[in-house]
Amino acid sequence: MHGLFGSKQNNRTISKALARDLNRPVYAVDLRNHGDSPHHKRHDYVAMAEDVEHFLVDKKLGPETTLLGHSMGAKAAMAVSLRSPSLVRDLVIVDNAPVSSILHSSFGTYIRAMRQIEELQLKKQSEADKILSEYEPNLGIRQFLLTNLTREEGSPYLKFRVPIKILGSALDEIGDFPFTLEKDRFEGRALFVRGTKSHYVPDEHIPTIGRFFPLFRLKDIDAGHWVISEKPIEFKEAVVEFLQNSE
């Protein structure tokens, strides 16, 4: 499960590598309001968890399922495990923690930039990148955001396939984690992978992780928040080792 503004396409390469090395099927999904999934005005972790639970039941994936999620997708995976532990065997959580926090201001900045791009009715991706560069200097992040640009049939203008207004209104919910230590625990195994150059999982969150997920393991990788794309080999090896050594 991808993060905010992502899609299943972001995880195609790592999914193929994990399917090969683990010899098991891997499903990459689009969370609601992303990729090819439907748009809905409600965008929170309970709703996303319900969607994933429906997918697991519909595909008859059963209790041997591993959920792997990055950032927003990580919280969605944790939400499923706490709501419906019978559907999940173990977790791989990438650079996020079971805490409520305010999203980095950059996400609100991206929303403003994307709104401006749509309002200008641009026809070329290079024009959109020029606008976005005024808000985000990092070319890799701009290219990631621009993967959402599309052109609707019959229109010459570029438009984002993610619903900008809905996601802009849901930034507080995306930073939230609507579960309580008093009653919510997942007793299965969990691997928490964090980027050492990222601020999403500071040391002070580790005790909280342990209370929600008492059988967790922590793996540090020398990367920023985009752990999978920055260090794909190290990430894949960590996941394969965790899942092959299930004792």
Catalytic site positions: 71, 225
In whole angstroms, give the CA distance from residue 72 to residue 76. 6
- CB contact at 8 A, 97 and 213: no
- CB contact at 8 A, 103 and 111: no
In whole angstroms, give the CA distance from residue 5 to residue 113. 13
In whole angstroms, give the CA distance from residue 33 to residue 129. 22
Residue 73 half-sphere exposure toward CB, CA atoms < 13 A: 27
